[in-house]
Amino acid sequence: MINLLSNIKIFLKNEFFRLKNRKIIDQTIKIKSMKKDKNVILLATGKSLSKIDLKKINNLKSKNYEIFSLGGFLATDVSQNVDIDYYLLSDERTIFPDKFDLEKKQNDINIKTIEVIKKKKIKLFLPTETWGKHNFKDNEIFYFNNNPDNKTKNITDITKYFGYGSISGLKSLSVCRYLGYKKIYFIGLDNNHWNNIKVDHENEIFQVHRHFYDDDGVYRKNFNVKSISNLLRRSSGVFEGFEKFKKFDIINLDPDSLIDCFSKTHQLDVYK
């Protein structure tokens, strides 16, 4: 009875979302499963991305591969070696950086990313709540439901509430599944920020940034967690989120990755 009520509630929430956003998600609905004849390389921003030769990645485009990316990748010099087909932004700090009091380096990365997306007119996935508010006027945009709900099992229909942790990497996997790619290869989704923790005498938690473009080794206060148990619980939830995608044809290009639910066996020549 409880499961039935939960299913009815999710159904009604999805229907309400669809009716409320029917015009906004119309283009998103049209592109569902349109990539069945292609493979995709998903480039995230973890340290493992440094293992990849991005020129080799770009050469795969001539072999029926497309390239998907997210976060601050486009703000880096190495991004000039690849032609991105699709990009995802889901955190409001990356879409509206001027509205947040961010560390200067992170703010500069967000602004540069926006500039490159606009300049190259890259096709972009954005949350529906950003419609009419953002400044991507000349980009082709596909809007998605950015609302998690732990009662749903949905992980692949981006027009509905989703049942995994609300991080951009998992949302990108979901988008790639929604587009219907035959096979998804990813690199840079490391989820290893939890294993470089320090706690000071006031029990404040500090961590080193773990993006491939971070090299200063500075421990910064983590304002998003209240305790070590909270941080580890969140990290565990991300691993569990990845595990929900393990039934799909997804390859982890990082041979040393802590994410152990995907095959790491492949024949691609992509490393340095």
The pLDDT, as a whole number, for residue 33 is 98
Closest residue by Cα to residue 164 from 263, 240, 232: 240
Taking the complete model, does pTM exceed 0.85, yes or no? Answer: yes
Domains by residue range for the chain, with CATH: 2-252 (3.90.1480)
CB count within 10 Å of CB 204 equals 11
Question: What is the per-residue pLDDT across 199-222, written as a single tens digit (0 to 9) for each?
Answer: 999 999 998 877 888 877 788 888
The pLDDT, as a whole number, for residue 8 is 87
**117 backbone dihedrals φ, ψ, rounded to 5°:** -60, -45
Question: What is the per-residue pLDDT across 19-41, written as a single tens digit (0 to 9) for each?
Answer: 999 999 999 999 999 999 999 99
Tell me: pLDDT of 2 over 80: no
The pLDDT, as a whole number, for residue 83 is 97
The pLDDT, as a whole number, for residue 223 is 84
The pLDDT, as a whole number, for residue 252 is 98
The pLDDT, as a whole number, for residue 66 is 98
Say which amino acid occupies 225. V
